[in-house]
Amino acid sequence: MNVKQVILSFVLLSTMLLSGCATPPPNNQNNICEIFRQYPDWYEDALDSEDQWGVPIQISMAFMKQESSYIGDAKPPRYYFLGFIPWGRVSSAYGYAQAQDPVWSEYQDEVSSWTSRDEFDDSIDFIGWYINGSNKSLGISKWDAHSQYLAYHDGRGGFKRKTYAKNPTLMGIARKVETTSKNYGWQLKKCRAELEDNRSWF
């Protein structure tokens, strides 16, 4: 086996190993307690984001459920030229939080350049950071999942211009996110003591 073959084999093996390390979505995405029981590290990451930005865990998690269904390498659908020729993606959104390139770069400049959109901890921190920014610049309560989601989806400029008012589908999605956050909130109240007890074992 020559050097090129060795290098190629190493690259292929590394790719296979990395793809095998991807965290699958939670088995029960409708129950935040089950999510954190399955992935205790996610609870730690969610706590860190809540402590850093003051955004309730249930709201950040509701955003992530809506944006990516907890798929770390989620991408938006492709655009098809003439209806059948693949022509790139409809946006640059990527990862758990579906953050687009410009705003992710802004986050990296302000918070840390050592972040990745396909990492859960970085993504939930990004959501908290963005919601905190919308609270400061737009005056939206960090507990207002409905309005915060509209600002997250359309951007703060779009929210100011009320672009969402012409998009009934988006308005429905924002109400869905609000409902998810409320359900998550009630569920979290019932299991938070258990989750905290489990933390003491680490």
Q: DSSP letter string over the chain?
A: --HHHHHHHHHHHHHHHHHHTPPPPPS-TT-HHHHHHH-HHHHHHHHHHHHHH---HHHHHHHHHHHHTT-TT--PPEEEETTTEEEEESS--BTTTTB-HHHHHHHHHHT-SS--TTSHHHHHHHHHHHHHHHHHHH---TT-HHHHHHHHHHHHHHHHHTGGGG-HHHHHHHHHHHHHHHHHHHHHHHHHHHHHHHHTT-
AA identity, residue 43: Y
pLDDT at residue 39, rounded to an integer: 98
Least confident of 39-43, 92-96, 104-108, 188-192: 92-96
Of the given ranges (1-10, 101-110, 168-177), which has the lowest mean pLDDT? 1-10
Higher pLDDT, 32 or 22: 32
Tokens encoding 101: 């390139």
Mean pLDDT over 61-70 rounds to 98
pLDDT of residue 76: 57
Q: In the predicted model, what is the mean pLDDT of residues 95-103?
A: 95
The reported pLDDT for the residue numbered 88 is: 39
Asked if residue 3 has pLDDT above 50, the reply is no
pLDDT at 145 over 60: yes
Residue 133 has pLDDT above 60, yes or no: yes
Identify the band that residue 200 occupies on the pLDDT scale cut at 50, 70 and 90.
Answer: low
Evaluate the CA torsion angle 32, 18, 112, 78 in order and state its sign. negative
| pLDDT-derived band at 199, boundaries 50, 70, 90 | confident
CA distance 117 to 34: 23
**CATH, domain range 26-199:** 1.10.530.10
Q: Which of 28-37, 88-97, 175-184 has the lowest mean pLDDT?
A: 88-97
> Cα(186)–Cα(148) distance, rounded to whole angstroms?
20
Provide the pLDDT confidence category of residue 45 given band limits of 50, 70 and 90: very high
